Structure formats: structure tokens, C-alpha cells
Structure 1
């Protein structure tokens, strides 16, 4: 789910120095060239007015494939090289951006790395228009929320992607909610550059420290199977029992003297998902450290040694709240409607790309020990703005982000800074609410799973397609 370029998958033998070199090569010394990449996932629904059961989750052949084909035929997207086991189209690419499918058919735009949020919001507005026009005539709607509000696992069709088969078998051995993560969660996230090892550490520490506050600000998933389950972000709660070796926040992120080697040491001890050979995904569940030392012998007797491409894949299968790849990936937020989607990259750009804002945001949480950090994270995902402490911290964090964007002073053709993308979300936070509270106000505590409830969920969480919703940039 990357929107900035990753290291090219390579069959070259993996050397010890390659483990950190992937990060050193990514350093962009000129901070004026630091970019922003944004990603968003949406749930698809087929809105058949003749179906007495109401809207239902999309399938690949009947619904998703026609959307992909229309994007190819009408908007200049190309099928990506990666295909399903039967040659199925599972990803598109165009001008540095990609469209991919998550395991349950979640439709993801991974945007092109861009110089500012004005351009990012323009990109998402174009995506909205393309998806909206195609989906309306196909009778599809796309919902932006962190956890599927009504569908059970059994109602969601798996997408034909080879690596998902491996994950589907392995994750249930690591935690009880891995399949829910794959099938029933959606996120919006953003990716950011760094100039040096020291700056990477400073940005990682701050982002990990306030990631729970970001979860609270964008919390948008109170419902599971038609009922309010008492969490503002069920998506975030779901991640606490997926695979605790590869997920969450980590004490070493807050210790002084960060270095790339520290992230590598952690990553080496996380069990792998898979390797890829000749276009096929092979399950390999050794800690990467052991795999790198001894290799892996497959059931057919073939012995595989560690390659540079294996390390790239492994880094992409680690799921901490802030992930280090050849960029910093902020991962802790629910998917949100078009009204708020551009606020995510804007908020984090304000916090990460202004040194004063980075320092001020870190000071909000600097005095916490690690158990207190875990407690704050829990408070954020469960209560969000309903917690007075979380509310106060989030108001301050939004103000810091706004000040950071104003100092960066990147203006659009109308003379407005990127801070304008915070306006609506900041007002919501100041009122003591998150998007989850808006959903509760509109839908109540127990909408259920019937046809009327499904239509109500579709209207409230609507992003594009059948129905109506403003584009991400109302001025576009």
C-alpha cells in the first residue's frame, strides 16, 4: 500500500549492509523536495434496488473487475504487472499512482508522491470523479469507514491475489482478528520523506507518540454487524489482536539515539509471511534473521537463499502504527469521507515537515512512560473526543499542525495555504466530536443489518458511486 516508490524487487543476494541501505538510499537531503503520498481504501457495495436484503458487498467478477476495466478503457489506467493466480487484473497504474485491491475487495488509491497537499487533494478529487462516474452506472457505492458497518466475514468475497492466500492461512495462527483486518477494515494513510537518520528518528518518535491522537481525530468505525460496539475506532481495536509481533507501538521508538539498525533489529525477529519466486508466492514463516542465516527449504526440496527482494517484501508486511520503509508511513487512521480525506495528509505534513511543529507535538506526550502510552492509545481508540484528556490533546495537536502548515506557506492559485484542508476537521474536533460521533448521531446505537439499515449505512459513509457526496475539494 505504498504511494512513494519502494526499492525495486531484486533477486540479488541479500547482504547485511542491504538491511539499512534501503533507508539510507531513500534520504532526501534537500528538504524542499520532500513529498507527500496519500492512500485511501473504500468498501464496495452493490446497490441492487430489486434485492429485498438491501445492499451487499461487491464480488470480483461481477463488480470490481468491470470497474477496473472501465478505468482502463476510459481514463488511461494500465493493468499492473502483478496479476492474480489465474491472470486476473488486480492492480492498475497511471502516472506514478496505483489502484489496488485489498483482500475483501476494498478499493485503494495509492496516490503519486506530490509536493504539497493542494496537488494531493486535486488527485483525490479526480479519483472521486472517475470512481463516481463509473460506479453510478454500475449500481455500486463505495463507503469510507474504518470497519465494515454491517457485513460478516462470510458475506465478503476474497479477491484473487496470491499473497492474500498465504496471509489468510497464516494470520489466524498469530491472533484472533487477522481475517477481520484483511476483510473488514479500511484506512487512510500518508507517507513522508526524511533527510537523514537523525531526522527520521525524530519524526518517527513524534509520529509514534501522537499516533493515538491521530486515531482519535479520524475515528470513524463504531459499528460492527449493525451494532455500536462502544469503540470510536473498531478498526484500531481490531489491530490489537492481529499479530502482536508486527503490530502496535514499540518502546524503542521513544528511546534516545535512534538508528536504522534499531528498526532492522526489530524487523529481523518478526516472522515472515512469504517470498516470491517466478511470480508465485511461497509461504515462509521463519523470523527473517533465521531465514537470512540458513535460507529455507521448500516442501519440494528447493532451497531458497535470502534475496534483496525478500527484504523489501518483509518490510511491507510489518504493521506498526508508524512504519519505516523508504519513507515514513502513518498508518493509524480510519478511512473517512471526502469531507475529511485531504485533512489527513495536511495534518501530518504540518506536524512532520516543520521542525518547530514536530518538537511541539512531541512535547504533548514526551512525559509519558510506555505503559501510559499504551493506556492513551486505548483511550483514543475507545473514547476518542468523548475523553476530556484526549479531546484537549487533540485540540492542541490540530493547532500545532495548522501553525506548521502556515509556516510552510505553500499557497494555491487563490492564495490559500494548505491549512485550509484542516478547517472542517478542526471545527469537529473543537466541538468535542470525531467522525464516529457524527455516525452515531445519524444512525443511533443499533441500526441492525436489515435492508433499511444497510441503505442508511450506505448513505452515511458514502464516498462515491450510487448516491451523492461532494468531491474531496469542493472548490475544484
Structure 2
């Protein structure tokens, strides 16, 4: 979905602390009836003949140059490690969103196939260490900043991929579709989504001990950048406070390397002798990585990239149903409400609930029980959202294969790891759900 912050007119003069708070409150929660839906799908790029081999920068550059000529409706961007991301336009229905992104992905895959390349859906590259493909001042600065907390930042930049679902903030008024409840529920249901769609149990060819290694990266990074704000505070006020108190990643420069200050909050910057302007605020907002990021709409960032060409459709459909169908939203709210006690006062993703989701997936009994109820509610809601039989069947198959059995895609990888060579594992995992959405059976 479009970035609501960048849609605003630029204002070059310095902004005060009070102006920042007012701007963030006005920009980041645009309330009203839920009408639009979007998705951002990230992919790792691999060699078709030898999927475990990293693709050389020269081959990536040539392939990406060819992709620029495609008449896509989605925005196509390249991540620091060479991952590809497709970001949909806001869609007025679930099927419009699926149809647009599916068509764009078909076009992208066709071009990559001619270059001998393909796309893989993993939350974390199971085989290769982080290697940066893009060398620009902003990524140089990001790397320097994130390195202060450890190596996890580089892995997030270069070897991770996700399915990010974008939802309208919701009504101003309270209720199942009110923005206050949707904000709160996104952080509690988010743990269920982490567990149910975990698909990153490996790094550098080894089991990491997490079902979602990608999610574990966020728990190891600077909490000022990756923690959720206080859920006990009104959403606009809580997010404005988080934006002001969050550390400044970098100060941009027209030429040369960007400055990477240490221990400077945006609030402190506004009080300095050289305060930021509106464009600095806009950029600062893009450097914050909480599990739910308000950008006019709500951007849910906790779901791992999924296996298969169409694996991303199931988390999109399930999440849309649980938030945009009033009956399903009420069921989900009642189901995850008891989980809040387990989360305690610590924010996501560092509280016990989120850590259990990332480490154990649906092996966790409470998360398993909640997932069964929520996924069943989503399945019942999909006809009301206009989902086709194909989409409903894909969700039903996912429930039967994973949710009902207390499993997630990461468990398939770990099961396959036993008794198979790494080459066999990597090749099979890539095609595990490949084509299932079109009625093809890839086997086990």
C-alpha cells in the first residue's frame, strides 16, 4: 500500500517537538470504515539449477534491469541483500488484491526464469550468510547503526523475507472494526500469526532452535527501533511518543557518507541547535520496525515469507478475514484476549507470548488452541468477503495440513532435514507447495 507519510507535501523548515507529535497523530492513523487491503510480498532470489548457490551481483543486476521494463501494477523494489519485494496498490477487495499481485508475480517470474533465476519464500535464507547487494549511503548507514546491537541487523537487511498485510486503521468509534481494538488485536493476534506461519527454522544450513528465526532477529535488535509501543495508551499518543523517543538511525547528507549518531532520540534532535525538518521526520518513520507499523493504515510485519508460488495468499486471506469481517473479528478478539495475560507488560516482540510463538510455533498448546479457533472463524468469513472457491480451498488445506495438527511450514523443513541431504532438502522445500494453488501436486 502507498506510504501515507510520503504522500504529504514536503515542508523544509525545522519541526518542533510539538509539531512532530501533531503530525504523527494526524498522519499515522487515518480512521474510517475498513475499505482497503494491501500486501507486500518479499522473496529471496535463487539460481534455478543450483538453488543453494547465492546469485552473483552481476546476474542480479542484469535480471533486475529487465524487470524495470515490466508494466506492473504493484511497486517493485529491491531490498539490501537483493531480495525482491512487490507492494500492491490499495485494493477494494481480497480478490482484487490477490488477482493483481498474482498477475504481477507471474510476469516477474517469467523474466527471472529467462535469466535462470527463481523466487523462494523463506522467512530467513536457510543456506547463505548475509551479503549486501545494494551499496548506497542509506544502507551503509543502516548497517553501521544496526551493527551496534549485533549481527542480527545485517541478517534482517540481507537474508530475511516476509508477507506483510496492510489493513485500514478502522473506525474512530469503538467496536469490532474500531481502530483502538484493531490496533490492540494486531499485537495479540500477531503472536498467533507468527506461530501459524513460521517458516524460518534454519540459517547457514543449521537448525537455529527457532521456528521463526526471522522473528528472533527482531528480538535481538535495538528495542527502541523494533518494540511495539505501550498498548495501554491511546494508539495515536502511544505511537507519537514512540516516534519521538526512538533513536535516530542516521542524518542524511547530500553527498558523502551519512552521519550515524549514537544515543540521539528524535525528541532530542528537535531540541538541538540543528533540528530536523519534515523530510527528516518522514525518513525517521521508515527506520522504525515494530511488529505493527501505523502508516495511515496498519502494516502487519510479523509473518514469514511462505513456501510455494502462492503460499502468500493464505496469510493474506486469513488476516483479512479476521480483521475486516465483523463476526470473525469478534471471535478473534475473544480468543486472543486471554493471551494478553501471558504477554504481560512487556511489549511485542520481546514478551513471553511472542517469544514462544517464534521459538515453538504451534507446538505451544495455547497458541495452537487459539490458532484453531481463529483459522476456523476466518474460513467461515471468507465467503462473506467474496473469496473464490480456490482461495477457500487453499485456506482449508492449510488448516488441515498445519493448524489442526499443531504444525507450521517450519516443521516441514525440520522433518525433511532428518535423513536427507542439504541439496535434497533445499530443492524440495522450494517446491513444497509450488503450484498447489493451481491444482498441481508436487508430492512430499
Range class of TM-score, shorter chain: 0.7 to 0.9
Aligned twin of 1:312: 282
What's the secondary structure of 1:436's corresponding residue?
helix
Structure 1 residue matching 2:223: 3-state secondary structure: coil
Deviations 1:152-210 (A, max 9, x none): 23xx2431333111011111113442112112211111111124556322211001012
Alignment correspondent of 2:97: 120
> Which of 67, 71, 75 is equivalent to 1:98?
75
For 2:256 and 2:385, the matched residues in 1 are separated by: 45
Match of 2:399 in 1: 426
Q: Is this contact kept in 1: 2:379–2:396, CA < 8 A?
A: no
Cα distance in structure 2, aligned partners of 1:164 and 1:454: 32
Shift of 1:142: 1.8
Cα deviation for residue 149 of structure 1 reads 0.5
Structure 1 distance, partners of 2:29, 2:222, is 30
Helix, strand or coil for the counterpart of 1:37? strand
User: Residue 307 and residue 229 in structure 1: after superposition, are their counterparts in 2 closer, same or farther (change >3 A)?
Assistant: same
Confirm or deny: 8 A CA contact 2:94 2:386 kept in the other structure.
no
| RMSD (Å) for aligned C-alpha atoms | 2.9
Aligned residue among 410, 435, 441 for 1:470 = 435
Match of 1:223 in 2: 202
Residue of structure 1 in register with 2:66 after alignment: 70
Task: Name the CA distance, whole Å, in 1 between partners of 2:29 and 2:216.
Answer: 33
1-structure distance, mates of 2:319, 2:100: 18
Question: Where does residue 161 of structure 2 map in the other structure?
Answer: 186
The corresponding residue for 1:244 is: 223
> Residues 357, 48 of structure 1: CA spacing in aligned structure 2 closer, same or farther, 3 A cutoff?
closer
Contact 1:41 1:335 in 2 (8 A): yes
Q: CA deviation at 1:355?
A: 3.7
2 CA distance for matches of 1:313 and 1:446? 46
Q: Which residue of 2 aligns with 1:450?
A: none
Q: Is the 8 A contact 2:162 2:304 kept in 1?
A: yes
8 Å Cα contact 2:44/2:125 also seen in 1: yes
Task: Work out the CA distance in 2 between the residues paired with 1:382 and 1:223.
Answer: 12
- TM-superposed deviation, 1:235: 0.8
1:208 counterpart = 2:210: no
The 5 Å alignment of 1:121-200 reads 121-153=98-130, 156-197=131-172, 199-200=178-179
1:269 aligns with 2:260: no
The runs of 5 or more residues in structure 1 that have no matched partner are 77-93, 297-304, 448-452
Q: Which residue in 2 is equivalent to 1:7?
A: 6
Report the CA distance shift for 1:202/1:20 in structure 2 as closer, same or farther (over 3 A). Answer: farther
Matches within 5 A, 1:314-463: 314-337=284-307, 338-367=309-338, 368-369=340-341, 370-371=343-344, 374-406=351-383, 409-411=384-386, 416=389, 419=392, 422-427=395-400, 428-444=402-418, 447=421, 453-454=422-423, 456-462=425-431
CA distance in structure 1 between the aligned counterparts of 2:207 and 2:319, rounded to whole angstroms: 29
- CA deviations 1:352-404 (Å, max 9, x no partner) are 22344334323223243343872221211111122222211111121233344
- Aligned residue runs from structure 1 range 250-265, under 5 A: 250=229, 252-253=230-231, 255=232, 258-265=234-241
- The separation in 2 between residues aligned to 1:48 and 1:147, in whole angstroms, is 20
Contact in 1 for aligned 2:322/2:332 (Cα 8 Å)? yes
Q: How many corresponding residue pairs?
A: 423
Going from structure 1 to structure 2, the CA distance change for 1:108 and 1:420 (only over 3 Å counts) comes to same
Any conservation in 2 of the 1:120–1:342 contact (CA below 8 Å)?
no
Contact 1:295 1:306 in 2 (8 A): no
Q: Counterpart of 1:287?
A: 265
After the TM superposition, which parts of structure 1 deviate over 6 Å for at least 4 consecutive aligned residues?
none
The answer (yes or no) to whether the contact 1:44–1:105 under 8 Å persists in 2 is: yes
TM-score by length of 1: 0.80
Higher relative contact order (CA 8 A, sep 6+): 1
Secondary structure of residue in 2 paired with 1:312: helix
The answer to which of 157-166 and 136-145 deviates more is 157-166
The partner residue of 2:33 within 31, 34, 48 is: 31
Conservation of the 8 A alpha-carbon contact between 1:23 and 1:260:
yes
**For 1:245, what is the secondary structure of its paired residue?**
helix
**Equivalent residues of 2:80, 2:134 under 8 A apart:** yes
Match of 1:19 among 14, 21, 26: 21
Normalised by the size of structure 2, how large is the TM-score? 0.86
Conserved? CA contact 1:227–1:445, under 8 Å: no
Unaligned runs of 5+ in 2: none
Task: Report what 1:79 is aligned to.
Answer: none
